[in-house]
Amino acid sequence: MKHGTGISLILSLFFAFITDQRKVTVLFERVETVSNDQYVKNVNVSLSKSGGLNVDVHNLQVVQEVYAQMQVTLLQYIAGHDMIVMNRTVNYCHLGRNKNPDREQLWAAIMDIAVKSGNFSLGCPLYPGSYFLHNLTMTDYELPNFIPDARFRLLFSLLTENEIGDLVRVLKFSILGRVKASKRDKGFNMM
């Protein structure tokens, strides 16, 4: 085998490994929230008996620009240490556009699931009123094959600009849970 052919084969196998998908179920175990009373009130967050995430919030004012910040950490992933697998802030107002560079796979899937489970819009401005997610579940959700069954922490914040242009947190969620292979997909397990 020629040297270049061997490298091509190795790169092909590596690319297939990192792009291969497997079906997982995301289980929510605990959720906490912090809200900014200047922007929202009546924030109620809970987990249903079936494991679905419920969020009810009342927006108090028109918010022109909204940014979504998400950090996903696999807990005790390597030798008992946590590993951050995503830490991004994107313009929430643009997430509904299919050809937007911020609409990467993980963001797109999470936002699509959220829109299907509630009355949140992927556009701006956000108007005053009540918004909700009811019984948000993630069953048979596709993740890259290299993400193992693991415990995770998801920090999700909605931010906006104040009158002097600084980003201000409107709402923050801290969610603990775990990812496990769906019954139809064995995947690989590090738990």
Tell me the CB-side half-sphere exposure of residue 155, using CA atoms within 13 A: 14
Beta-strand relationship, 81-91 and 21-35: unpaired
Residue 65 covered by a domain: yes
Residue 122 covered by a domain: yes
Query: Is the pLDDT assigned to residue 10 strictly greater than 50?
Result: yes
Query: Is the pLDDT assigned to residue 187 strictly greater than 50?
Result: no
Domain count, the chain: 1
pLDDT at 121: 74
Decide which of 17 and 77 is more confident. Answer: 77
pLDDT at 4: 55
Residue 108 covered by a domain: yes
- DSSP H or E segment with residue 85: strand 81-91
pLDDT at 190: 44
Residue 101 covered by a domain: yes
Mean pLDDT of the chain: 80
pLDDT at 120: 80
Of 19-23, 77-81, 95-99, 160-164, which gets the smallest average pLDDT? 95-99
Q: 165 Cβ partners below 8 Å, 6+ apart?
A: none
Query: Is the pLDDT assigned to residue 100 strictly greater than 80?
Result: no
SS3 19: helix
Cα dihedral sign, 118-119-123-128 = negative
Residue 94 covered by a domain: yes
Q: Looking at residue 107, which CATH number applies to its domain?
A: 2.70.220
Q: Which tens digits make up the pLDDT trace of 55-89?
A: 999 999 998 888 989 898 989 877 888 988 889 88
Residue 7 covered by a domain: no
Residue 54 covered by a domain: yes
Residue 79 covered by a domain: yes
pLDDT at 6: 55
Q: pTM here?
A: 0.77
Owning domain of residue 83: 22-181
Query: Is the pLDDT assigned to residue 17 strictly greater than 70?
Result: no
